[in-house]
Chains A and B, each alone.
Chain A
Amino acid sequence: MLRITNLSKRYKTGDDALKGVSLEVPDGQVLGLIGPSGAGKSTLIRCVNRLVEPTTGTIDLNGAQLQRLGSRKLRKARRRIGMIFQEYALVERLTVMENVLSGRLGYVGFWASWFRKFPQDDINEAFRLLERVGLDHMVNKRADELSGGQRQRVGIARALIQNPELLLVDEPTASLDPKTSRQIMRLICELCEERNLSAIVNIHDVALAQLFVQRIVGLQDGKIVFDGPPDSLDSAVLTQIYGEEDWEATTIDDTQTDKHSLELSGE
């Protein structure tokens, strides 16, 4: 269970990115975080694993107060938090296998990682995960030879080999085509379900979020302005989050056909 209380972040430039955000994510829940650019979505998830240092507030992950940890304990805590990035953030000149195994760096010593001597269990798990995401035939390809969708699958495998308690997902589909976007979102949600893993997914595409996540939180100017199930999103709520616009074509409401047919068409 992740419990964020009264979290604020002020950047050195004086911008208040977050203004007292409180949020609880129970185990196994996939939460979609929507909101306009600059609302603080990225800052929020980066504060959880402290790639960005929060200014005030508390972050409690299964009893550990993340905001208090010193650098050694923070490293230990980060091992249990997987992260997936918008531009995949793979190390381009390393192979698929090396990228996946880098998710285990927190558990192996420097020289073992330098000589790529990872424990056999980690290697087995890496092969298993690559098979699960459908890339078992690309183990020794360099990351920069892969397509966008394939790279994101490697990114997912790297996050999951950490055996995380929480997944932070930053715009996973923003650089992908619509079909690949759906496949990637479906994969992330399936894996979360298999492992009873909770996740916070920043996402631009409102309809895509509605299709896959169990709960939607709307962030606007550093504050939470909406928190509810996906089907309660309507034009009024979207106007509240993003501002005035014609929202008819964006959301999937009850007048449309059932979600399953849409989900299938993405395959």
Chain B
Amino acid sequence: MAGKHVWQRRTTTRQLLIWFGWLLLVAIFVACWMYISNRTEWFFVYDAPRIAGDIFSRATPPRWSYIEKLWEPLWDTLNVATIGTALSLIFAIPVAFLAAKNTTPSVTFVRPIALFLIVSSRSINSLIWALLLVAIIGPGILAGTIAIALRSIGFCAKLLYEAIEEINTTQVEAISATGARQSQVISYGILPQIMPALAGITVFRWDINIRESTVLGLVGAGGIGLQLQSSLNILAWPQVALILLVIFIAVIVSEWISAMVRKAII
């Protein structure tokens, strides 16, 4: 044994605990699987491939002529996403400054309020915001736009305040040391540092909002989802196929645009 050093990454007890943890995870997974399986009508599931094939054959070819009726809702959808994103930024930027530890006026009072706003905006899906807003201000694209904006405030503010907290503080010190007022310290010392993050967050959220706004029509908040729902209701599968195709293309284009913008700015 002389001169031979034994090295282990973990102690034996620790190793056993980790194995036990994995065992527990597998057991929970199997239990859940059984629970779901017992409550499923397998009769319908066995049938699924045939039904899916049936729907697919009814849906092809897409009804191309229906595109004429899709241009306007598609335009609405784009507007809901774009205006919603812009609207959310107007609120998200101040909220982010209030929430960031290094810029908030008060860590004990203001910061918790800002964080609460962020969490409440983020915890509610835009579809649910739209459902509420359709009830409050009636159906249409205004409800959709506000739903998108409300959901995006939390998302943008959270990512932005994290960016603010990560800035280089000596650059801020240098601006303060010249005798600049607080508003100038923000505009010269902080804003240039978070611009790439702000631009990235904006196009990222815009890209997500295009996808989200395509389904808002399902609850009556305007856009292409409205056409999707009415086509589904009358089982017009060729129309559904065309709408899904259009959404697919719109999302690809938006992703391409946001990738281009991010590349240009950063």
Least Cβ–Cβ distance between B66 and chain A, in angstroms: 48
Q: Are B189 and A75 in contact (CB under 8 A)?
A: no
Whether B171 sits at the interface, judged by CB under 8 Å, is yes
Known: A92-B193, A93-B192, A110-B187. A85 touches B179 (CB 8 A): no
Q: Are A91 and B179 in contact (CB under 8 A)?
A: no
Known: A78-B178, A105-B175, A105-B178. A87 touches B188 (CB 8 A): no
Q: Which 9 A-B pairs have the closest CB atoms?
A: A106-B179, A79-B179, A105-B180, A78-B179, A89-B174, A93-B192, A89-B170, A83-B177, A75-B179
List 4 additional A-B contacts (Cβ < 8 Å) besides A93-B192, A94-B188: A78-B179, A83-B174, A89-B170, A110-B187
- Per the bound structure, the CA–CA distance linking A49 and B168 in Å amounts to 20
Whether A77 sits at the interface, judged by CB under 8 Å, is yes
Q: Are A103 and B187 in contact (CB under 8 A)?
A: no
Binding site for B on A (CB under 8 A): 49, 51, 75-81, 83, 85, 87, 89-94, 98, 102-106, 110, 113-114, 155, 158, 162, 168
- Per the bound structure, the CA–CA distance linking A1 and B2 in Å amounts to 71
- Per the bound structure, the CA–CA distance linking A31 and B51 in Å amounts to 87
A102 to B, closest residue via Cβ: B188
Whether B103 sits at the interface, judged by CB under 8 Å, is no
Least Cβ–Cβ distance between A253 and chain B, in angstroms: 36
- Per the bound structure, the CA–CA distance linking A158 and B188 in Å amounts to 13
Inter-chain contacts of A77 with B (CB < 8 A)? 179
Inter-chain contacts of A168 with B (CB < 8 A)? 177
Least Cβ–Cβ distance between B44 and chain A, in angstroms: 58
Known: A91-B193, A93-B193. A51 touches B187 (CB 8 A): no
- Per the bound structure, the CA–CA distance linking A216 and B187 in Å amounts to 38
Q: Are A91 and B171 in contact (CB under 8 A)?
A: yes
B189 to A, closest residue via Cβ: A91
Whether B176 sits at the interface, judged by CB under 8 Å, is yes
Whether B48 sits at the interface, judged by CB under 8 Å, is no
Inter-chain contacts of B183 with A (CB < 8 A)? 110
Binding site for A on B (CB under 8 A): 168, 170-171, 173-181, 183-184, 187-189, 192-193, 195-196
- Per the bound structure, the CA–CA distance linking A106 and B181 in Å amounts to 7
Least Cβ–Cβ distance between A76 and chain B, in angstroms: 7
Contact of B174 among A79, A90, A113 (CB under 8 A): A90
B192 to A, closest residue via Cβ: A93
Q: Are A94 and B170 in contact (CB under 8 A)?
A: no
Least Cβ–Cβ distance between A101 and chain B, in angstroms: 9
Known: A91-B171, A103-B178. A113 touches B187 (CB 8 A): yes
A142 to B, closest residue via Cβ: B192
Least Cβ–Cβ distance between B106 and chain A, in angstroms: 16
Inter-chain contacts of B192 with A (CB < 8 A)? 91-94
- Per the bound structure, the CA–CA distance linking A51 and B168 in Å amounts to 15
Inter-chain contacts of A98 with B (CB < 8 A)? 188
Inter-chain contacts of A79 with B (CB < 8 A)? 178-179
Known: A89-B171, A92-B193, A93-B195. A51 touches B177 (CB 8 A): yes
- Per the bound structure, the CA–CA distance linking A91 and B183 in Å amounts to 16
Q: Are B173 and A89 in contact (CB under 8 A)?
A: yes
Q: Are B170 and A105 in contact (CB under 8 A)?
A: no
B193 to A, closest residue via Cβ: A93
Inter-chain contacts of B174 with A (CB < 8 A)? 83, 85, 89-91, 102, 155, 158
